[in-house]
């Protein structure tokens, strides 16, 4: 490691979200009342683009916080605002939160965003954007996807029905284009300007029906079309696919991650592209580790890929509350520092780490 910071949260978290001012937002996912939502100030070394030397302050600080009466399974900061949007069981409604001003340390709950026919629906996956106005894209199933203006609660888009498959993720590719990923791995593109249009992308390789998938989209460099950036999909048995949305009839690459056998669930699967490293992505959700891969040499053979770095810090942190080894619940990349990642685990540990650059690698 080049650097490693740790912070112990009061409860397990499955969320890490960058907010304004390089703050970090986290939230608990326990089933009992009183799940914390916290905004943390990172250590000073993470607040500058340049790598610093020794720094006396190496810990996170809690800047403000609040409590949610329901588990928080998804949390997104609304760009250019002081608002957060969360979702979680028992239905697909959304909760909106106001991050208080400097003279207060409270994150306050604002009126929720209700959804039609959300009874019996699973929790909503969410994405946010502020290109035109503060929007939240949300839905639990393919036929329940919509965009709501956060501040006015006005519905500005409802996707055409493409079936009732459960969603594992969704994303804004730009202010007009949406990407939806089903738990089965099916990708669909939608256009806000054409509500009745829903284009299916490439399917995933033949796999057992019980296999679950998630996706990771990459934000391209300035001047590049979002659709030109590959979409990564990760399955619960460790299969990785890369897809160019401009040519969905074939895969860019296929590979098998070096992960343990899939467990009983795939709720913590996570795959993400490095924003400042060409061709690098990270995966987690199988055990107490985070794997980083360089995809630039991948082909369509589907052979096992060798990770360029494996973060094992959570695995050695001790057992979680259930007595089981800690499981990494989420990870995310630092927005400016190329090889710096944040990861959280089921034992409440939050790690920030930066690995030494291997020769000839990312």
pLDDT at 54: 46
124-134 tens-digit pLDDT: 999 999 988 99
pLDDT at 132: 83
Whether the predicted pLDDT of 332 surpasses 70:
yes
pLDDT at 227: 58
Q: How many CB atoms lie within 10 A of CB 299?
A: 11
Phi and psi torsions of 45, nearest 5°: -65, -20
Report d(CA 22, CA 42) in Å as an integer: 8
Question: Considering the chain, what is the average pLDDT of its residues?
Answer: 85
Q: What percent of the chain has pLDDT over 70?
A: 84
pTM score: 0.91
Whether the predicted pLDDT of 168 surpasses 80:
yes
Q: What is the CA radius of gyration of the chain?
A: 19
Query: CB neighbours of 309 closer than 8 A, spacing ≥ 6?
Result: 291, 292, 355, 358
Whether the predicted pLDDT of 222 surpasses 50:
no
260-299 tens-digit pLDDT: 866 546 789 999 999 999 999 999 999 999 999 999 999 9
pLDDT at 75: 95
pLDDT at 221: 47
Report d(CA 138, CA 87) in Å as an integer: 9
Q: Which of 65-69, 99-103, 316-320 has the highest mean pLDDT?
A: 65-69
Whether the predicted pLDDT of 362 surpasses 60:
no
Confidence band, pLDDT 50/70/90 cuts, at residue 211? confident
Whether the predicted pLDDT of 100 surpasses 80:
no
**Mean pLDDT, rounded, for 113-124:** 76
Query: CB neighbours of 223 closer than 8 A, spacing ≥ 6?
Result: none
DSSP 274: -
Confidence band, pLDDT 50/70/90 cuts, at residue 223? very low
Confidence band, pLDDT 50/70/90 cuts, at residue 340? very high
Q: Which of 43-52, 90-99, 310-319 has the highest mean pLDDT?
A: 90-99
Query: CB neighbours of 103 closer than 8 A, spacing ≥ 6?
Result: none
309-322 tens-digit pLDDT: 999 989 886 554 55
């Amino acid at each position: 490691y080049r650097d490693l910071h740790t912070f112990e949260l009061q409860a397990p978290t499955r969320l890490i979200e960058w907010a304004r001012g390089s703050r970090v937002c986290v939230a608990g996912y326990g089933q009992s009342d009183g799940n914390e939502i916290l905004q943390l100030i990172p250590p000073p070394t993470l607040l500058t683009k340049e790598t610093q030397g020794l720094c006396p302050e190496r810990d996170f600080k809690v800047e403000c916080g609040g409590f949610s009466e329901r588990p928080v399974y998804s949390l997104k900061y609304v760009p250019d605002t002081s608002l957060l949007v969360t979702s979680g069981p028992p239905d697909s409604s959304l909760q909106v939160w106001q991050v208080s001003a400097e003279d207060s340390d409270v994150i306050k709950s604002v009126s929720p965003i209700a959804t039609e026919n959300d009874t019996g629906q699973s929790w909503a996956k969410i994405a946010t954007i502020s290109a035109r106005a503060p929007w939240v894209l949300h839905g639990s199933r393919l036929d329940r996807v919509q965009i709501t203006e956060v501040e006015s609660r006005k519905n500005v888009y409802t996707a055409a029905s493409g079936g009732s498959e459960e969603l594992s993720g969704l994303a804004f590719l730009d202010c007009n284009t949406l990407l939806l990923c089903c738990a089965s791995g099916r990708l669909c593109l939608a256009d806000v300007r054409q509500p009745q249009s829903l284009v299916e992308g490439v399917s995933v390789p033949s796999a057992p029906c019980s296999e679950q998938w998630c996706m990771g989209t990459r934000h391209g460099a300035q001047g590049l079309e979002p659709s030109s950036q590959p979409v990564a999909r990760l399955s619960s048995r460790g299969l990785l696919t890369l897809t160019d949305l401009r040519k969905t009839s074939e895969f860019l690459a296929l590979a098998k991650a070096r992960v343990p056998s899939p467990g009983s669930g795939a709720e913590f699967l996570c795959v993400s592209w490095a924003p400042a490293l060409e061709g690098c992505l990270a995966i987690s959700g199988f055990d107490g580790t985070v794997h980083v891969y360089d995809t630039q040499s991948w082909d369509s053979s589907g052979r096992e890929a060798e990770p360029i770095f494996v973060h094992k810090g959570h695995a050695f942190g001790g057992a979680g509350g259930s007595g089981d080894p800690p499981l990494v619940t989420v990870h995310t990349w630092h927005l400016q520092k190329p090889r710096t990642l944040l990861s959280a685990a089921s034992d409440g540990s939050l790690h920030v780490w930066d690995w030494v650059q291997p020769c000839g690698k990312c």
